[in-house]
Structure 1
Amino acid sequence: MTHSHKTTMPLGNITAEHREAVRKWSNKHHNLSYPDDQVTLHHCVALFYADPRRPSIRQLHAALCEMLDRDSVLSGACPVHPTLPEFRKLVLTLPATFVDHMRYGRSWNIWDVLASSDEVGFASETTSHVN
């Protein structure tokens, strides 16, 4: 990892409606104990928590540590690993609406429930005629 330039969060896969919330989250949780590019890596791995495959925080932390270890072997640098509680705190501060949208898809509301009631009513009407 090079520490010579300011890095930015990759927002290409984040929907437009969540970009600002994720950008604010990233800016708010900038840990000065780590170099900028390592903080970006921490954030990128934390963002993966929103993946539909639902990785656990523990799995993500292990993957992050593995990446840092590999970088250490390749570069000779000794990056400091975030502790599991430190990383968990970062992940749990992700915008909940973003995580829910990415993990579970489009959210539902009361109108979706009411719209489905037509089909339920239709199904009960057809079954009552069969009897």
Structure 2
Amino acid sequence: MREGAAVVRVVKRSSEEVTVEVTVRLSGSLLEMEDAIQEAANAVGRCATGEALKRFDADGSPMRVGETKLTARGRDPKTYQTPYGEVPIERYVCQSARGGRIYCPLEQGARIVRGATPRFASQLSHK
């Protein structure tokens, strides 16, 4: 993905790791280069956080929460707030056959707080 003066891409994934490659354009004044470096660091953070969030998503198969059987309604887009900026993700949302409240396994498993990742929510709570 191209992020301003940086290009970030996942080059390898495993069950426990992700390898990210970043290219930073160093041109202009030192201030412009520092801005490019900061943007690249944030782009790596967004990319890695996106990969981490996906690990908490469901696979779309039916599940039980307590006594209620839930089935996937499909994948819905959602943008999460992180210390590195916004990270858009398509994640499964589930509901019972009778309708009612929607359940998002990713948000439950990753402990999302009102659209913010735990680290970002913690940072905000200290301000």
Category of TM-score, reference length = shorter chain? under 0.3
Bigger CA radius of gyration: 1
Q: Larger helix proportion, structure 1 or 2?
A: 1
TM-score (norm: length of structure 1): 0.26
TM-score (norm: length of structure 2): 0.27
With a CA cutoff of 8 Å and minimum separation of 6, indicate the structure with the bigger relative contact order.
1
